[in-house]
Amino acid sequence: MDSSLLGNVTGALLLGGKSTRMGRDKAHLEWQGEIWSTRAANLLASLFTETLLVGGIPDADAPGRRVSDPSGPQCALRGLVAALDAATSPRVLVVATDLPLLCADLLLALCAWPENDAVVPVDDQGDQPLCAIYQRESCLEVARSNLASGRLSMRDLLTHVECSRVRFDDLGLSDLGDVALTNINTPEDLATLEGS
């Protein structure tokens, strides 16, 4: 086992999105010659001893342990429940597959931030709960309860746990701007990414 990898945080890639606005599975989109799910899984596997591929169908080359979503409506909260339930580490860094510009500096800075139930980056769009760290023990019960009662918003979950909201400036990453959390949802977003 690589001693440089973090063992106290599990990296979890959420793959089960509907991709309604994109019109096709975002996990299998390609950018700069790499499939998104493989790109994100490789990033997580380069940082953590445990990488989970949650829900959906990852690219065959994506490293990590496959985890199925629990029953319930298709939503990010369901993926979070699966990730927290399957993780063997006390904290879980959850990322969505449609953040192709994620970088190691951001993920490591979130891991280094003082622990709380959740550590969530904030940009000009607000909270970014799909690139955040969750305490397994304190968040799993709340996430399960919210899922069972139909309160499916990830932001709603954050109102029921102790949450540290951090900006790029707080993390010493002001040079990244909001680029690292660029979310690609539509063919137009994809065209902009490919043209950059």
pLDDT digits (tens, 9 = 90+) for 179-190: 778 776 665 665
Question: Among residues of the chain, what percentage have pLDDT more than 90?
Answer: 64
C-alpha of 137 from chain center: 18
Query: Is 63 a residue whose pLDDT tops 60?
Result: yes
How confident is the model over 17-42, as pLDDT tens digits? 555 544 455 556 676 778 888 999 99
Q: Is the model's pLDDT at 176 over the cut of 80?
A: no
Per-residue pLDDT reduced to its tens digit, 121-139:
998 889 999 999 999 999 9
Q: What are the Cα distances from residue 37, in Å, to 56, 57, 77, 111, 160?
A: 10, 9, 19, 21, 30
CB 129 within 8 A of CB 117: no
Model pTM score: 0.89
- Could you tell me where the DSSP H helices lie in 13-60? 36-45
Domains and CATH numbers, the chain: 9-195 (3.90.550.10)
The DSSP annotation for 82-150 comes to HHHHH--SSEEEEEETT-TT--HHHHHHHHHSPP-SEEEEEETTEE-TTEEEEEHHHHHHHHHHHHHTT
